Every structure is written in C-alpha cells, then in structure tokens.
Structure 1
Amino acid sequence: MDASNPDELVRNIREQYLADSPDLVRTSLHGHSNVVQMNFASTYFPLEFIQNADDEGASAVRFQIRKIDGDWCLEILNNGREFTDSALVGQNGDADDVKDDVTGLCAAGVSPKHPRDHIGFIGVGFKSIFEISQCVEVHSGQFHFSFDRERAEEHGDEIPWRVVPWSCKPTEETEVPTKIDGTEYTTRFVVRLDERGQQLLSDDELFEPLRSENIDRRVFLFLKDVRELSIDDDYSDSSRRISRTDEIRDDGLASSVEEARQWFPSSKQETIRDEADAQFDPIEVVELEESLSDGTTEADTWVLFKHLWEVPERYVFTPRTQRPAQPDLVKSSRCSGRLA
C-alpha cells in the first residue's frame, strides 16, 4: 500500500474501509469504535495525549481553547517527533525514527507501539476524544488529515468514522510548525467541539480533566521527556503551567544525594543494572513548579530512587506469541520520596 505522497496514503487507508472491506467488517469496526467510546470517558483524553507526546520525545505539551474558522476548538500541541509512516515512499521503514503513525492511528485494535517501550495500546485513549467532537484534525510533519463523521456518513451509516481518515488542508490557524510563547510545536490536534463539547465549555466543565484534582503535577514524576505542560484556559480563567527541572538548587540536598549514592544502589542492583545495560541515573532529583492563573506559584522537590526488578521467566510473556520471554528481561519501577 505504498503511497507517493501523504494525501495518497490517507486515501489508500480510507479506500480499504470504504471499498475493499466487506460490509460485515465495516459494521464490526463501527461497533468496536462505539464500544471503545462508551467505555472511555472524555476525562481520559488528557493523560493519553500527554503520554503519547512523551513517547515521541516531546519536552512541551499545550492544551488551549479558541475559535478557529468560527468553531470553538480544543487544540492539543506538542513539540515531539513529527508523524511518519513507512507506507510513504521515501520514508525508510527500517529506520528507528520511522513509525506507522498514520496507519496506526487509523486502525482498530493494533498499534505501532511496542509494550516494552511505551505505555498505552490500540489508541483507545485517543478515541475518547470523540466524546466531545465529531471532527478531529491531525497536523504533523507532511501529514494533514481528519476523522470526520459527516464526511464518512455520506458513504453509509455503518462506516467506522472514528478510524476513517480524510485529507484536509492546513490553514494559517492550523499549520505546523507553530511557535507559541517561545516554544515551537510540531504536532497539532484540532478538536472541533460538537454540541456536547460546546455545552461542557459553556458549563465550565470542558477543562475539568485538566484541573489539579484530575491531573496533579506529580504526573511529571513518571514521564521521560516532557518538562512543561501549558493549559491555556482563558474561557474560564483556569489556566495552569507546570514545569519540571532536574537541577538541585539546594546545597544541603545536593550533599544528601551524594551521600545516598554511597549505599544506593546495592551491589545486587548494580549487577542487575549491568546485565540490563541500564542507562538511567538510579537517584534522580525532580523540582516541580506550578503557576496558576491567579498569579500564585506552588513548588515541591522529589527524590526518586529507581530500582530494576528481575522478572521470573514464568511470569513474562511476549505480547504477540504469548510465549515466555527471555529470562534476562527486566522491569523498572520507581520509589519516590518527597521533600517538604
């Protein structure tokens, strides 16, 4: 299914659903999408987008609400790796930085992510965004496409519109890359709010999943690369900005951390780390700072002690074959301690 340009790739994927797939397959996929949406509420989508951005090496994620072409839209931006797809001629499918992003996002029940390297599977979190929208645009690198219920249903009610892509042209309002507050974002999701989404906006509930009681700044303790989260909610004046730094600003803390390195990790941990070729620092200091719309700032410091645990072979299975994995497979975990 190689394509010579991004629009042709999107068209090829769509034709597989509209022309090549039997009615039974299309109906089954439509039902699958409905089940996914019913079981994943709209409150799930922020963490899904943050985690996906982190998986692609983004250091900044931004959520903002504004009008685009007369429609109220929720925009989600990140500055991570741009979309790629090995089905596009000229993109080396064997290269580490080429993934089937478009094909994977348009699929039901499969994912280009490997469970060993990433969190999340089959895009069910992304599909929850359709709780508040019937038209979602994706703009990243060469790719510009949308999932549009109205366009899909012109071809029949059984069309699984949440996975059927349509090419769309970027405008000055939606093009990438784009620079906002000094950060250049490379991927943009434009979520055009439907009737339910607009009602949530009017009721001051659209950004409820992004408020502190639902997304605590401690989420940064479990992310690899994201260092800044901006929530620009001018509509209800509930904006937040969370940042993470790994610099030790307190001399006393720095001294304590160096002392801790004398006994952590243990010799057994060192052996496990050597066998696993672990590349991360076993002791990590994290400074979290949050700025609120009222001008106040909150901050705290965490020290993370990271262990590697060897998983017995009888408990480990590869995701595809369900056969026992290699005995040297290890799994990491974090133990955190907060400093007042």
Structure 2
Amino acid sequence: MSKMGGSTPKEHIETIRAEYHVSKGTRTHRSYQNSCEIIGRELGGDTTQFLMELTQNAEDNHYDDAETQPKLELQLLADDPTQHAGCKGAVLTYNNERGFRQEDIESICDMGESSKKKTTRQWDAHKGGRGYIGEKGIGFKSVFKISPCPHIFSRNQDGAYDFKFQKDPDEEVGLGFVVPKWVDVVPDQFCAVFLVIDVVAAKTL
C-alpha cells in the first residue's frame, strides 16, 4: 500500500480505499474477500477472543516514554450511539498510547502485513492453551466476532484518524473487513476503538 507522505489522515484513508477500488471485479478482488471471510470466521474459538487481541495491542503500542505504564480501559454501553442496524450496545476501549502511526494504519487495513515484531501465535497456559495472535493487522479482525462495524478514533502527531470498517462488502469498493471508511462525526464517548455490538453476539458477553 502507498504511504501517507504529506497528505492528511483523511486523504491517507481515501488513498487506501482507492487502491482497493482499482481491483474491484477482478479475480484478485474476489479471492481477497474470500480470504477475509475465512480468517474472520476462524479467528478465535469464542466471541471474547477480541479482548485478548486488544490487550495484546495495548501491550505492544507506542507510549510517550519508557516510564509510561500502559493502561487499557473498557466500557460497555447499553445503547449504540451510531445506531448501526442490527446492533445493540457498544464496547469502548481507551488506551494511553501515542496513537496510531502511519504504518499501523497501513497494517490494520491489510490482511497480510504487520507493524509488529511479534507475528507468531502466543499461548496462555492458564487459559487452557487458548492463544491469541500478536499481529495488529490480522489479530484486530477478531473484533468482527462481535461487531459488524468497528470504529477507530486515534490522535497522534500526524493528526486525527477517525474511520471505521464493516464486515459486509463496502458499497463502493465491494470488499469487507479491510476497507476503511472515514467518519466525519465522532461520538461524544471519544475512545481508541469503538465496537458496536451485534445483537446475537451481545447475548454471549
């Protein structure tokens, strides 16, 4: 994918969308969508897998200095401020990191790349061998277990990144999971990752 260069965060997101749009209707395009759907189904054995992924991301994120203690706060809302169809409630996550870097944005919008050094599956013996994937691009896809439309609101030296993904194929690009879409209106509950909860998934939380 193309790097942001001197463009704004919104232009960066639009560039990524354009790159996916070029391949629309091709065999590569269809193959990518199939791969996204397969990985989305296979990531984790239960709907709580995304919690381990978000925790791992918080541990691996970039902070102001070595003395900064990583913090991750989760908040569960009864209502969905975005009023996304078929959803009830939302999970908000807050993290005191520096914010998403350009390479993090590129990674999370791709299925095969990663901005992390650790890309192997790690296992927690205290969880009965259940593992998580220490990779921002792939591991983040586990949020689709509970959310059809995860949002990301991040602030850093490059500016404000406010965008979302959707599980269903994007109406313009024709791909789901990895195609970002800019969000012009940020909810009052500003956070790092905002997950609207699927009605069915809500019963398991």
With structure 2 as the length reference, what TM-score do the two structures score?
0.74
SS at match of 2:192: strand
Corresponding residue number in structure 2 for 1:82: 99
Taking a change above 3 Å as real, the CA distance of residues 3 and 27 of structure 1, as seen in their structure-2 partners, is: farther
Q: Distance in 1 between matches of 2:58 and 2:185?
A: 21
- Displacement of 1:21 in angstroms is 5.6
Match of 2:13 among 10, 14, 17: 10
Aligned residue in 2 for 1:160? 175
**1:90-101 residue pairs with structure 2 within 5 A?**
100-101=103-104
- 2:57·2:136 contact (CA, 8 Å) conserved in 1? no
Which has a greater percent of strand?
Answer: 1
* Structure number with bigger Rg: 1
Q: Is the 8 A contact 1:147 1:163 kept in 2?
A: yes
Name the counterpart of 2:130.
none
Higher relative contact order (CA 8 A, sep 6+): 2
Q: Which runs of 5+ in 2 are unaligned?
A: 64-68, 123-132
Residue 190 to residue 124, structure 1, CA distance change in 2 (3 Å): same
Give the Å deviation of 1:195: 2.9
1:65 equivalent among 62, 68, 76: 76
Which whole-Å CA distance do the structure 2 matches of 1:47 and 1:15 have between them? 32
Q: Which runs of 5+ in 1 are unaligned?
A: 86-99, 176-186, 207-340
1:52-201 map, 5 Å? 52-56=57-61, 57=63, 59-66=70-77, 67-69=79-81, 70=83, 72-85=89-102, 100-115=103-118, 120-121=134-135, 123-141=137-155, 142-149=160-167, 152-155=169-172, 159-175=174-190, 188-198=192-202, 200=203
Residue 133 of structure 1 aligns to a residue whose secondary structure is coil
**Aligned-residue CA RMSD (Å):** 2.6
Partner of 2:53: 48
Could you say if the C-alpha distance between residues 162 and 60 of structure 1 is closer, same or farther in structure 2, counting changes exceeding 3 Å?
same
Q: Which residue number corresponds to residue 27 of structure 1?
A: 30
Letter of the 2:52 partner, please give it.
L
User: For residues 260-309 of structure 1, what are the alpha-carbon distances to aligned partners after superposition, in whole Å with 9 as ceiling and x for unaligned?
Assistant: xxxxxxxxxxxxxxxxxxxxxxxxxxxxxxxxxxxxxxxxxxxxxxxxxx
CA distance in 1, matches of 2:93, 2:194: 7
Instruction: Give the SS at the match of 1:53.
Output: helix
CA deviation map 1:37-96 (0-9, x unaligned): 1211322111110111111146211111112425511112211121121xxxxxxxxxxx
- Percent sequence identity over aligned pairs: 26
CA contact (8 A) 1:139 1:170 kept: no
- Give the CA deviation at 1:126: 1.2
| CA offsets 1:12-49 (integer angstroms, 9 cap, x no match) | 00111112466212211111111111211322111110
Instruction: Number of aligned residue pairs: give it.
Output: 173
Q: Aligned partner of 1:23: which letter?
A: T
Q: In the aligned structure 1, how far is the partner of 2:182 from the partner of 2:165?
A: 9
The answer to whether the 8 Å contact 2:109/2:137 transfers is: no
**Contact 2:72 2:95 (C-alpha < 8 Å) held by counterparts:** yes
Whole-Å separation in 2 of the counterparts to 1:122 and 1:171? 23
Q: TM-score, normalised by structure 1?
A: 0.46
Runs of 4+ in 1 over 4 A off after TM superposition: none
Residues 40, 149 of structure 1: alpha-carbon distance in 2 compared, 3 angstrom cutoff: closer
